[in-house]
Structure 1
């Protein structure tokens, strides 16, 4: 679970710049070591609570999905789907798949 949160913090840049290195090193220590003290867990909880305080459950679900499927998102970026050419290619693919599904019925 800590690794997922760690990835979210990095990917969405949720850390404040003034103590980013301290937070990163603390969370990294916690994720690497299974023998941590209760005070370390409490400190990590406070750090994460500060980072995520204005984020709703829906935001967290979206963030979790983005982290879990980051390879798909990268593939879509490489396919340039947000350009005019990429959108046209996507529409052609969608139309072809729709036609194939209709022919199967």
Structure 2
């Protein structure tokens, strides 16, 4: 849960933020209303990655398809998976992440 601070409190506590923001974000208020959100760099990176994933319409389509297949019981065991799939990677902004797995022998999608 974020902690709420006035601008004056935030100014006083600013030197401690590198340590304090690791555990929880801070919301700085102005005139009693939220004005600024402060969070650790790690949390910021995590939010950006989440936004990137959710913005990837093809990935989300594949994810939904995989969830539907799992809910229908259309699954395979780990040995079958290892023998039938290869990872696909997506390179964006110089960073590489494994985005999904595709069954090389059929149209089944794995995540």
Question: What is the TM-score when the length of structure 1 is the normalising length?
Answer: 0.30
More strand by share: 2
Scaled by the length of structure 2, what TM-score is found?
Answer: 0.29
Looking at secondary structure, tell me which structure has more helix per residue: 1
Between 1 and 2, higher relative CO (CA 8 Å, sep ≥ 6) is seen in 1
